Amino acid sequence: ECRTPKRIVSVSSFADMYEIGKEVMPSTHSYMKVNFATRKKDGHEVVVKQRFKPNCFRSREDERSWRRNTEFLLNMPDNSGIARIYEVIEDSRAFYIVMEKVGGMDLFEALEQEGKVSVPMAKDILRQLLSSLAHLHSHNAVHKDLKLENVMLDYTPKDMKSPSSVKVIDFDTLEEWTPNSPTSKDVVGTDQYIAQEAYAGKYSPLSDMFAVGVIAYRLLTGKFPFHDEMFDDEAGENWVGSPKMAQIRRRLKVAKVDFSNPVFREVPQACDLVMRMLAYNEMQRPSASAALEHPWLQEDEGGGRRRSRDEDEGGCRFGASAAGRQRHWDEDLIDDGIVVAQ
């Protein structure tokens, strides 16, 4: 069935439609605020991101790009793992992105409280996150700023089909993507989560997968995979081709991620998946849908095995049955045209 595409709607006054409430969190941008709000006609509670005119875009081209990507997002089919965008409204004062109010807390807050999560919880979060990402990617979208703060754990009881319901939020950087998309002029994202190719302006679904690898590593170990000192760029240096972006990219090439954490010795298949998602060469990373088929994520809780004696300090080494499942997954990836790192 054909439906009319959703557009950014111009109105005389947003305040006639919604009652703005308290701020959700302070914004890092002077031109932006995020507030709770209530729709006046029915009392429905939402979150509203306000972009204040006239300084919310750097240029006319920047505004055109934002409008195009916002309307692209507005028309994406709904998915339970993606926070819904109900409508985008414009008046003389600002643009207003009206979004689903998601309960719970973000992953950053959860880890601040807990340090790290259990392996079963990490597996559940990653399954749901990858499923949401597979949905975005299947509709030719890249998020470009996946991080702990942009993944919500929704504990609303009606949504509870498992220990937590996971939703991706914050689509300021989301773009429509095809293999022929032009190289970006700016390096977008957050330190630790930005893939090496993004420092050269080459974003793709596999760049998002690198960010999932960082999230997975942090969930399982309580630490980030890279030293903070690697990311020492100053404001204004995040343009593609700048010496600092090239330097950080070189650092990522030689960086050694520590996989000696006890959790990786106990769960070598988790180690394998995280290692693959963090691969420097993007073509060695699995897609979101392929990662969902990884033996570790396919394994039911309680179906694990004891670590064998040959699994030493560094490693992602498997017993016979796990190794068999691993070979099947590797062969499927090769069939899909994805080269896997050994």
Q: Which residue has the tokens 């997954």?
A: 329
Tell me how far apart the alpha carbons of residues 285 and 333 are, in angstroms, rounded to a whole number. Answer: 10
Of 132, 148, 50, which is closest to residue 83 (Cα–Cα)? Answer: 132
Assess whether 145 carries a catalytic annotation.
Answer: yes
Are 195 and 206 within 8 A, CB to CB?
yes
Tell me how far apart the alpha carbons of residues 103 and 217 are, in angstroms, rounded to a whole number. Answer: 25
Tell me how far apart the alpha carbons of residues 277 and 194 are, in angstroms, rounded to a whole number. Answer: 12
Helix (H) or strand (E) holding 36: strand 32-39
Q: Which residue has the tokens 């010795």?
A: 265
Query: What is the widest separation between alpha-carbon atoms in the chain?
Result: 70
Q: Which residue has the tokens 């507030």?
A: 35
127 three-state secondary structure: helix
Spot the catalytic one: 124, 145, 170, 208: 145
Tell me how far apart the alpha carbons of residues 40 and 330 are, in angstroms, rounded to a whole number. Answer: 54
Token couple for 112: 């601040």
- Residues annotated as catalytic are 145
